[in-house]
A and B are shown apart, each in its own frame.
Chain A
Amino acid sequence: MDAKADVPMLAFDNAARVYGKGDKAVRALGPVTLEVMPGELVAIMGPSGSGKSTLLSLAGALDVPTEGRVCIHGKDLSQQSMAELAELRRRVIGFVFQDLNLLPGLTAIENVALPLELDGMKLSRARAAAAEALNGVKLSSMADRFPDDLSGGEQQRVAIARAHVGPRQLMLADEPTGALDSVTGELVMRLLRQQCDRGRTVVLVTHDAAHAAWADRVLYLRDGLLVAPVEAALPSSLAETAGRA
């Protein structure tokens, strides 16, 4: 999918997810209206139960809204067949989770190539794309190692490579730094930032403000709703004080 710069990569239009019916209905999310443009890194913060994971499930076409619409690069997900949704998940959307979900029986490069192979790509082409993705996360030298022989940070980098391998443009990351120490967590954030600077789009759910700060925009969810942004007068900049403006 070519990412046209003026079409949002991800759009929520009054989208809501309600579980159950009548008196027992529980509103997990929404209505939420949100646009994420190609190349943007957006962080979502909020307390447990505020709807962060529901938002990510809807964005990833893993779930459907009960009200409103969710569009990926202009395509309304509710208008897509199951096969089309599956194709979106294979070709457009990549996921990065806190628990890495790498397959222990496959090497790093095999793990990264897997989504392409499942999508019917020739083995040699899939491997070449996987090698390039691993290079992008500076893990070329570890390509033939199994997950168990990699540190937590290296495994997360493999997961990031797998999430953006091939043509995929939208990465959805759910607490990707949750299990990592601060230095490794920062490395992962630098990689996600780089992916956006190269034109990919990332939506990141995190409870860590220091990691959220790598984003272009930080949004807060509370009780399923986005908290309205406020104008905050910026305090005098440190760079000016230090003569670096």
Chain B
Amino acid sequence: MSVRNSLLAILASDPAHGYGLKSSFEESTAGAWPLNVGQVYTTLGRLERDGLVQAEPSEEEGPRQTWRITDLGREVLEEWYASPVTSDPPARDELTLKVLLAAAGDDVDVSAIIHKERTATMERLQQLTRHKQKADPDKELPWLLLLDALILKASAEINWLDLCEERLEHRAQSKDGGADGR
């Protein structure tokens, strides 16, 4: 997650002070990625150094200081919005890693692993769906959009596990067939 671009995106609407940025960020992202205030100030320091934000002239310094985005900051933000997010090489995720290593290993009960992972993912999916059932589409849009994203990712994970199971079964059958033929 890019804290840098997220802060620019919030400042693009209105100037804000550090704590306000933290609150706006968490509100817009339904609290999915809690930020600590220290992280906000460190990032603001770097953004200021790079000329992407500036402190509004004021008597107050420190936490009460208000920050605004610069023209250069807006350019960088537009560039971020305009560039599709790439994941090349793919982000490392533990489930993929675990199943690939299990499939490559000897004496590993891959189908038991797949079944257990699928059950856990389905339970998570059910939990997310219960939240979605209760979510108010008018008042809680960021929360609902976040839930949709997590639900579709979990559902894709289950589809992938199903596919792994089928391919591994196919491999096992081919091996058995090969052994018979020899």
Chain A residues at the B interface, C-beta cutoff of 8 Å: 47, 190, 193, 208-210, 212-215, 218, 220, 227, 229-230, 232-235, 237-239, 241-244
Q: Once the chains bind, are B127 and A238 in contact (CB under 8 Å)?
A: yes
**Chain B proximity of A219: nearest CB distance (Å):** 10
With A209-B154, A234-B127, A242-B30 already in contact, the answer to whether A190 and B122 are too (CB < 8 A) is no
**Chain A proximity of B124: nearest CB distance (Å):** 6
What would be 8 A-B contacts, judged by CB atoms less than 8 Å apart?
Answer: A47-B162, A208-B155, A209-B122, A209-B125, A209-B154, A234-B124, A237-B127, A238-B128
**Chain B proximity of A187: nearest CB distance (Å):** 12
Q: Once the chains bind, are B123 and A232 in contact (CB under 8 Å)?
A: yes
Q: Once the chains bind, are A243 and B122 in contact (CB under 8 Å)?
A: no
B133 interface contact, C-beta 8 A? yes
- B residues 52-100 near A (Cβ < 8 Å) are none
- B residues 109-149 near A (Cβ < 8 Å) are 115-116, 118-129, 131, 133, 143
**Chain A proximity of B152: nearest CB distance (Å):** 7
The chain A residue sitting closest to B30, CB to CB, is A242
B166 interface contact, C-beta 8 A? yes
With A238-B32, A238-B131, A241-B32 already in contact, the answer to whether A212 and B122 are too (CB < 8 A) is yes
B31 interface contact, C-beta 8 A? yes
> What is the bound-complex CA distance between A74 and B120, given in angstroms?
33
B-side contacts of A213, CB under 8 Å:
122, 125-126, 128-129, 151, 154-155
Chain A CB count within 10 A is highest, among B120, B121, B126, B155, for B126
Per-residue A-contact encoding for B1-45, CB less than 8 Å = 1, 0 else: 000000000000000000000000000001110100000000000
Q: Once the chains bind, are B115 and A190 in contact (CB under 8 Å)?
A: no
Chain A CB count within 10 A is highest, among B121, B122, B128, B150, for B122
Q: Once the chains bind, are B120 and A235 in contact (CB under 8 Å)?
A: yes
The chain A residue sitting closest to B120, CB to CB, is A232
A-side contacts of B128, CB under 8 Å:
213, 238
Interface size on B, residues (CB 8 A): 30
Q: Once the chains bind, are B119 and A230 in contact (CB under 8 Å)?
A: yes
The chain B residue sitting closest to A218, CB to CB, is B122
B-side contacts of A244, CB under 8 Å:
31, 131, 143
B-side contacts of A215, CB under 8 Å:
126
B174 interface contact, C-beta 8 A? no
> What is the bound-complex CA distance between A5 and B9, given in angstroms?
54
A-side contacts of B30, CB under 8 Å:
242
- B residues 148-170 near A (Cβ < 8 Å) are 150-152, 154-155, 158-159, 162, 166
> What is the bound-complex CA distance between A60 and B23, given in angstroms?
53
Q: Once the chains bind, are A209 and B131 in contact (CB under 8 Å)?
A: no
The chain A residue sitting closest to B34, CB to CB, is A241
> What is the bound-complex CA distance between A239 and B128, given in angstroms?
9
With A235-B120, A239-B131 already in contact, the answer to whether A210 and B34 are too (CB < 8 A) is no
**Chain A proximity of B125: nearest CB distance (Å):** 4
> What is the bound-complex CA distance between A162 and B152, given in angstroms?
30
**Chain A proximity of B176: nearest CB distance (Å):** 16
Q: Once the chains bind, are B119 and A229 in contact (CB under 8 Å)?
A: yes
> What is the bound-complex CA distance between A162 and B19, given in angstroms?
55
Chain B CB count within 10 A is highest, among A212, A237, A242, A243, for A242
B-side contacts of A190, CB under 8 Å:
133
B-side contacts of A243, CB under 8 Å:
31
Q: Once the chains bind, are B32 and A242 in contact (CB under 8 Å)?
A: yes
> What is the bound-complex CA distance between A193 and B151, given in angstroms?
17
B-side contacts of A237, CB under 8 Å:
127
The 6 closest A-B pairs by CB, nearest first: A232-B120, A242-B31, A209-B158, A210-B155, A213-B125, A232-B119
Per a CB cutoff under 8 Å, which of B126, B127, B159, B166 touches A218?
B126
